[in-house]
Chains A and B, each alone.
Chain A
Amino acid sequence: MTPLLEVSGLRTHFTSFGGTRIVKAVDGISFTLNEGETLGLIGESGCGKTTTCLSIVGLLPTAARIAGGRITFGGQELTEKTSREMRRIRGRSIAMILQDPMASLNPLFSIYRQVAEPAYYHQAMRGRTLRRRVQDLLAAVRIPSPAQRMRDYPHQMSGGMRQRIVGAIALAGGPKLIIADEPTTNLDVTIQAQYLDLLKDIQRDTGVAIIFVTHNLGIVARMCDRMAVMYAGKIVEHGSVRNLFNGARHPYTRALLGSITRLGSKEPLYAIPGQPPNLARLPSGCAFHPRCPDAVPRCSTEEPPEEGFDDGWTVSCWRAAAEPARKEYDRTSA
């Protein structure tokens, strides 16, 4: 079966100071996603998660451009599309949910109008059909009495409701892929759990594939089939959630799991010594070596290659092969 989305060797660079400095925000990452599957994209802030997502939807900031690699979606090569063609894909086949439900709705337009827009522009729906469609979408994200509520404006809704409306907007075009960029960071704990359940139900009903961008491993454990761990613009470990949680091979993944946060905690996980690296001045060799507890001299000079294991499990670490996956890791040391 051909995957729904195949990203191979994607490199996205930011140029600043008139092209004198290049920041490799995404530096040669590859992953695949099948229909109906959920992939978790994990990493500390600034590791390139969001840039990866924006590369896929073709909405990079002006300073950034895709410097290499391919993004194949449903048999089409997205990196070769014009902006007009990308516009027809966005909102229809690929939708994205942003983090901030308070800020992602336009305060001056009614809920109806904002939910209706994708169907209006992409499917040319009008009048009664469109109204019916919006009601269905709002009902699907469990907005009570949608026919009345759709006349309201964003400020009349609670945060959780607004984020569900953003979800309805994502569903409006009937997408095959939803990219959710930390969609629950700004929600209360109970609302978070409800929202995640809702996404799961929607996925079961529609068979949509989801990329879940987060730094919360609790959410990954609950939502995802597979996970890809990013560090300094690269995927350092990629595999099924079960395998990685049972015994990650990469020291960074192990450190992340060691500092696991509960579902609903708002704190970013932070138990790994040292700071995430500055992408403009990466350390030599493996970018993680200054913070790595298992580093050997080689780590600071040579970049580790990607190594494959069973079950699509890949790791980039000099120590990974030598070190068998530890089933027990010390949770208290973090």
Chain B
Amino acid sequence: MGQFIVRRTLYAIATLFILSLTIFLVVRLTGDPVTLLAEPGAQEEDLAVIRKDWGLDRPLPVQYAAFVKNVLTGELGQSFNYEMPVSTLYFQRLPNSLELALAATLISFLIGIPTGIISAVRVNSVWDHVGKTVALLGLSVPGFWLGLVMILIFSVWLGWLPTSGQGGWRNLIMPAVALGWYFAASLLRLTRSSMLEVLRSEYIKLARLKGLPAFAVIAVHAFKNALIPVLTLAGINLVIMLNAAVIIEVIFAWPGIGRLLYEGIFQRDFPLVQGIVMEAGVMIVVINLLVDILYAYIDPRIRLTR
């Protein structure tokens, strides 16, 4: 067990190292970041000042060391525009993103899990076809377009829901559906396949042989086993939704992390963009590591075989 945790942690550190190097190099090598920061048409002297202020005149290894130091101290560098540490801005927005992501997770659960279970229990029935259709639409209807169409229908035409901003559940429902839509489809697919696999197992056969009611077989014996991979996916999805809801947050003017990233792009605030991307990467790597360890803790078979 100890060895397993050490190995996984080393992998996570290696991943973060490569990630930080990638982000660092992309910013420096794909163009001059100074031209991003400066006003268009700025003089060469102005550029030199900015370059010096931001340490961009130093050799790359020195710059990288400074970048890593910023990550390790948790500051993630200074935002050019806000003149605040990126991490402060990030954590200011985090609760809003969390609110939206939790609501979207709830939506994806409500759509994905029951449909997935019914599809698996009644394979090839009408219900299964409904489930397959939902899964297919989840992948092919872009969530942001769904959001626009909902605004058109529920705000513009019917006038039932506000188009943007934060407030009660009426503000939350449309962005949550738009964001949760894609993830509902992925949960549906996983629930269905996981449930099908469990229903074929010998222990489900034995549960039936015991003469248990159908409800007890499916809802207790099968569901609990099928739920483990589904919950894992939902946990990882939540972290992704926190950081990747850029367009949805822009459309609904939701003051979350995605919108912060968007603002960073348009204010040409490359330290902010770079910092948010790095922070998202760190969060996902850490959550994945925790999930792996938790899994191994729950299931002894994993820690012995991997």
- The short answer to whether A and B are in direct contact, CB under 8 Å, is yes
User: Would B201 and A103 count as touching, CB distance under 8 A?
Assistant: yes
Residues of chain B in range 186-226 having any CB-CB distance to chain A below 8 Å: 201-203, 205-213, 216, 221, 224-225
Interface locus among A7-15, A104-112, A258-266: A104-112
Chain B residues whose C-beta falls within 8 Å of the C-beta of A317 in the assembled complex: none
Chain A residues whose C-beta falls within 8 Å of the C-beta of B208 in the assembled complex: 59, 90
Q: How far is the CB of B31 from chain A (nearest CB, A)?
A: 54
> Known: A121-B216, A155-B300, A155-B301. Contact between A104 and B205, CB under 8 A?
yes
Q: Mark A153-164, 1 if CB is under 8 A from B, else 0.
A: 001000000000
Once bound together, how far apart are the Cα atoms of A172 and B206, in whole Å? 13
Q: How far is the CB of A62 from chain B (nearest CB, A)?
A: 9
Chain B residues whose C-beta falls within 8 Å of the C-beta of A96 in the assembled complex: 209
Q: How far is the CB of B170 from chain A (nearest CB, A)?
A: 40
Once bound together, how far apart are the Cα atoms of A100 and B207, in whole Å? 14
> Known: A155-B300, A155-B301. Contact between A103 and B203, CB under 8 A?
yes
**Cβ of A88 < 8 Å from any Cβ of B?**
yes
Residues of chain B in range 220-245 having any CB-CB distance to chain A below 8 Å: 221, 224-225
Partner of B210, one of A100, A117, A155: A117
User: Would A106 and B211 count as touching, CB distance under 8 A?
Assistant: no
Residues of chain A in range 100-141 having any CB-CB distance to chain B below 8 Å: 100, 103-109, 117-118, 121-122
Q: How far is the CB of A157 from chain B (nearest CB, A)?
A: 12
User: Would A87 and B213 count as touching, CB distance under 8 A?
Assistant: yes
Residues of chain B in range 247-305 having any CB-CB distance to chain A below 8 Å: 300-301
Once bound together, how far apart are the Cα atoms of A169 and B209, in whole Å? 10
CB-based nearest A residue for B208: A59
User: Would B202 and A104 count as touching, CB distance under 8 A?
Assistant: yes
User: Would B210 and A107 count as touching, CB distance under 8 A?
Assistant: no
Partner of B225, one of A59, A95, A108: A108
Once bound together, how far apart are the Cα atoms of A95 and B207, in whole Å? 11
User: Would B212 and A91 count as touching, CB distance under 8 A?
Assistant: yes
User: Would A92 and B206 count as touching, CB distance under 8 A?
Assistant: no
Chain B residues whose C-beta falls within 8 Å of the C-beta of A106 in the assembled complex: 203, 207, 221, 225
Chain B residues whose C-beta falls within 8 Å of the C-beta of A92 in the assembled complex: 211
Chain A residues whose C-beta falls within 8 Å of the C-beta of B300 in the assembled complex: 155
**Cβ of A166 < 8 Å from any Cβ of B?**
yes
Interface residues on A, range: 20 to 34
Q: How far is the CB of B220 from chain A (nearest CB, A)?
A: 9
Q: How far is the CB of B281 from chain A (nearest CB, A)?
A: 33
Q: How far is the CB of B70 from chain A (nearest CB, A)?
A: 44
Chain B residues whose C-beta falls within 8 Å of the C-beta of A90 in the assembled complex: 208-211
Residues of chain A in range 43-75 having any CB-CB distance to chain B below 8 Å: 57, 59
User: Would A121 and B225 count as touching, CB distance under 8 A?
Assistant: no
Chain B residues whose C-beta falls within 8 Å of the C-beta of A105 in the assembled complex: 203, 206
Chain A residues whose C-beta falls within 8 Å of the C-beta of B224 in the assembled complex: 108-109
Q: Which of A88, A96, A117, A169 has the most CB of B within 10 A?
A: A117
Chain B residues whose C-beta falls within 8 Å of the C-beta of A121 in the assembled complex: 210-213, 216
Chain B residues whose C-beta falls within 8 Å of the C-beta of A169 in the assembled complex: 206, 210
CB-based nearest A residue for B227: A108
User: Would A117 and B225 count as touching, CB distance under 8 A?
Assistant: no
CB-based nearest A residue for B204: A106
CB-based nearest A residue for B207: A106
Partner of B211, one of A89, A103, A109, A155: A89
Chain B residues whose C-beta falls within 8 Å of the C-beta of A107 in the assembled complex: 203, 225
Chain A residues whose C-beta falls within 8 Å of the C-beta of B205 in the assembled complex: 59, 98, 104
Residues of chain A in range 140-182 having any CB-CB distance to chain B below 8 Å: 155, 166, 169, 172-173
Q: Mark A78-94, 1 if CB is under 8 A from B, else 0.
A: 00000000011111100
Partner of A88, one of B203, B206, B211, B225: B211
Once bound together, how far apart are the Cα atoms of A118 and B202, in whole Å? 17
Chain B residues whose C-beta falls within 8 Å of the C-beta of A122 in the assembled complex: 211
Q: Mark A278-305, 1 if CB is under 8 A from B, else 0.
A: 0000000000000000000000000000
User: Would B206 and A118 count as touching, CB distance under 8 A?
Assistant: no
User: Would B216 and A98 count as touching, CB distance under 8 A?
Assistant: no
Chain A residues whose C-beta falls within 8 Å of the C-beta of B201 in the assembled complex: 103
CB-based nearest A residue for B228: A108
CB-based nearest A residue for B224: A108
User: Would A173 and B225 count as touching, CB distance under 8 A?
Assistant: no
Q: How far is the CB of A309 from chain B (nearest CB, A)?
A: 36
Once bound together, how far apart are the Cα atoms of A155 and B298, in whole Å? 12
Once bound together, how far apart are the Cα atoms of A118 and B206, in whole Å? 11
CB-based nearest B residue for A153: B300
Q: List 20 A-B contacts (CB under 8 A).
A: A59-B208, A88-B211, A90-B208, A90-B210, A91-B211, A92-B211, A98-B206, A103-B203, A104-B202, A104-B205, A106-B203, A107-B225, A108-B225, A109-B221, A109-B224, A117-B207, A166-B206, A169-B206, A172-B210, A173-B211
Q: 12 extra interchain contacts, Cβ-Cβ under 8 A, other than A91-B212, A92-B211, A173-B210?
A: A57-B209, A88-B211, A90-B211, A98-B205, A98-B206, A103-B202, A104-B206, A108-B225, A117-B207, A121-B212, A155-B300, A166-B206
Interface residues of B (CB under 8 A from A): 201-203, 205-213, 216, 221, 224-225, 300-301
The 10 nearest A-B residue pairs measured at CB: A91-B211, A103-B202, A90-B211, A91-B210, A106-B203, A104-B202, A104-B206, A96-B209, A87-B211, A118-B210
